[in-house]
Amino acid sequence: MRAKRISTGAAVAVGALAAVSLAFAPSALAVTPQSATITADCGSFGGGQATLTATQDGTAATITVTSAITAPIALSQDSISSTLTLVDASGGSTAFTGTRNPAMAAGDPVTVGPLSGTVASGDSLEAYGGSLQMTVFGITITCTATGPQSPGPFVFD
């Protein structure tokens, strides 16, 4: 009988520990897909395939863009001011902004981000219909998607 009480007590303790662990576990929010590609047109600066990578932490989200253009000269870290505007399936838009970028050598693909924005649960955001504006040395470069992103819009939890 004593063994039964010990095993019952152990089971209750394990169950209580599991419940407490779940209560203090961080909420698992995810954006899907985490990465998407677009074909971008950046006017006289060129164009081609660009990759967007998204993350989410609650209502805060970030997107990093490896653009379709290359750096004409070496660029120092955090020297590009960027605004990525994505359109929502409901007709609105969300801006992701920042001045974050890695240092780049001449000829490297231009990468900006992570750019920060605010999202709501269920937001479905797409690059097609939006734009990426990058300001480098006072020159603004605007890139637009020529078609929908693949594999589809970013959907935030």
Asked whether residue 23 carries a pLDDT value surpassing 80, the answer given is no
In this prediction, residue 119 carries a pLDDT of 97
Query: pLDDT, tens digit, for every residue of 30-89?
Result: 899 999 999 999 999 999 999 999 999 999 999 999 988 999 999 999 999 999 999 998
5's tokens: 């009480």
